[in-house]
A and B are shown apart, each in its own frame.
Chain A
Amino acid sequence: MNPGWDFHAIAPVIIITATIVAVLIADFFFEYRGRFRTQQIASLGVLAAMIPIITLAVDGGTREMFNGGFVVDPYSLVFQGFFLAAAYISMLLSVDYIGDGDYYQGEFYVLLLTSVLGMLVMSSARDLISIFVALETISIPTFVLAGWRKHDPKSNEAAIKYYLIGVMSSAVMLYGMSLVFGLTGSTLLSEIADKVRTLDSPLLIVAGFLTIAGFAFKVSAVPFHFWAPDTYEGAPTPVTAFLSVASKVGGFVALLSVVWFGFSPNSAMFQPVLWGLAAASLILGNLVALRQTNIVRMLAYSSIAQGGFILVPFAVASDGGAWTSSIQSVVIYTLIYGAMNLGAFAIVIALARRTRSAEITSFAGLGQYAPGMAIVMSMFLFSLAGVPPFAGWFAKFTMFRAALDANTPAATVLAALAAVSSVIAFFYYARVAREMWFHQPPEGADVHPIRTPVALNAAVVICAAIVIAVGVYPQLFARLGDLAAGG
């Protein structure tokens, strides 16, 4: 009985696993001296895991293992590459934060890498059990990471809320999955797709709804979003950056895999639910973001709204042959969202090192004393708002293209809603920019130029480069979207 191992295909997973073990062992032996070594091992491991992804991409083709439950194809490689890059940038953001605070470094990276391992498996998983295990592997370490400042009640609150909601959503999702399994008799997504095509049972709709509701918690789509602002605010900011990008996209990949590979022949299972989630996230996320005075909370609501934009293609996918452009749009949007959101959080972290504050007013006058930082922050904000020539416009463009390809009344309504929301979103992003450029720094504030650590600078430069490059030359990511959608 040969399960068909293909070591090349699972090399990224093996490398990250080995890195986790190496970091843990290093942590035993370098407990008091050389604390930075665990961080270096972790970063090296993430970079090393990139190598097989590149060689696999060059090789091309589809590699199936374990009866088709684990697949390495362009779709999974694009996301694996994204997750590793996001993890690397998150680590760059964490180095000084975790180092300065004298938190448990080794453990921090063990948990972060475990979450990344879950994301890698998620990208390749084509089976409900694998998807569930991967999703739990993504979530459980982040519950602890959210409460990393364990003497801070806000951080504890963040962790507890995130944990309770996370566990409950897993239970709901698992119940939905068990019903799907009961009705179709298989956990393999390809076999589920064959069965749901002909199966006509009202329970199937409920099963799809429960499964998707579970994912909706993970991606904090309205009305399952209420944990996100509190958790994002209370968690250490680098962890928030990781949660809002890597962890959230992990949820989207799970949703995409299940919907695309599994539920797609039966659009009643997912389309109405996702339409409602998308519309609610767009409206509520953007409107509530307008009222926020704390930048992290604003970015939390903004990420809920961005999640709404990512859900739009899901909700229109099966109409009028919009599948290809929908998948492309989801892939491109998540990649671009990752770069610009991580960048925005990097600046928030850099500024908070000086001001010890996350209020939007703490950005006042930044343009006068730290023009470089203010320029880059404005760039990320305008990119999030979707203003050309920054990458965000292309993300929104693909989203509207998917909606127009679908060309149904429901899709048109959603597209109109997205257009209105984009305009609303512009106001709250622009408000931060106005604070930076047109307001005076508060009396008595330290207005010396801000010196940021090298790692943080590197993270900002990487994100900024992506945001500009993709904004000016969108074919960079468009090609990735084509590949992932099987074009």
Chain B
Amino acid sequence: MTDYYREYLAVAVLIGAGLAMVGGMLGLGKLIRPTRPQPQKYVTYEAGSDPVGGWGQSNVRYYVYALLFVMFDVEAVFIFPWAVRLETLGVQSLISMIVFIVILALGLVYAWRKGVLRWA
């Protein structure tokens, strides 16, 4: 087994341990707790008052936030490898990255100018 796999084996063990811990605790709780089901216990807790309605449809404007998040997430993914090799790749890659970031930032400016970021 090489070092590469050994490192990730540690990750796998950690994930396994985490899953085992959650499963173990919930399982143990299920074994030793008393069960007296009452319908009131299954009502969603909403600051003490009875909850209203079932499914709250959320406003479409929030979708723009999610999309902005995805955009800049993708940007981050490109920045990681670029940062690793910036020194060897030189000025050309710096300019490429600046253009990339500026164009994406333009999207943020656009969303802001069109008022879709306003919370009201």
| Chain A residues close to B by CB (< 8 Å) | 1-3, 5, 21, 24-25, 27-28, 31
Contact = CB atoms under 8 A, between A and B. Distances in A.
B92 A21 contact: no
B117 to A, nearest CB: 14
Interface stretch (B4-12, B39-47, B105-113): B105-113
A31 B106 CA distance: 16
A3 B92 contact: yes
B92 A28 contact: no
A2 B92 contact: yes
A1 B106 contact: no
A347 B88 CA distance: 57
Contacts of A2: 92
B14 interface: no
Contacts of B103: 21
B109 A28 contact: yes
A408 B113 CA distance: 62
B48 interface: no
Interface in B73-116: 88-90, 92, 103, 106, 109-110, 113
B113 A28 contact: yes
Contacts of A25: 106
Contacts of A31: 113
A437 B110 CA distance: 50
B89 A1 contact: yes
Interface of B: 88-90, 92, 103, 106, 109-110, 113
Given A1-B90, A3-B92, A28-B109, 12 more contacts: A1-B89, A2-B92, A5-B92, A21-B103, A21-B106, A24-B106, A24-B110, A25-B106, A27-B110, A28-B110, A28-B113, A31-B113
A1 B109 contact: no
Please name the 8 residue pairs, one residue from A and one from B, whose CB atoms are nearest each other, closest first. A28-B113, A24-B110, A1-B89, A24-B106, A21-B106, A3-B92, A1-B88, A1-B90
Contacts of A27: 110
Nearest to A1: B89
8 contacts: A1-B88, A1-B89, A2-B92, A21-B106, A24-B110, A27-B110, A28-B110, A31-B113
Contacts of B92: 2-3, 5
A95 B103 CA distance: 26
- Max chain A Cβ within 10 angstroms of own Cβ: one of B89, B92, B103, B110: B110
B112 to A, nearest CB: 9
Contacts of A3: 92
B27 to A, nearest CB: 39
Contacts of B90: 1
A299 B9 CA distance: 60
Nearest to B110: A24
Contacts of B88: 1
A301 to B, nearest CB: 35
A27 B114 CA distance: 10
A348 to B, nearest CB: 33
A2 B103 CA distance: 23
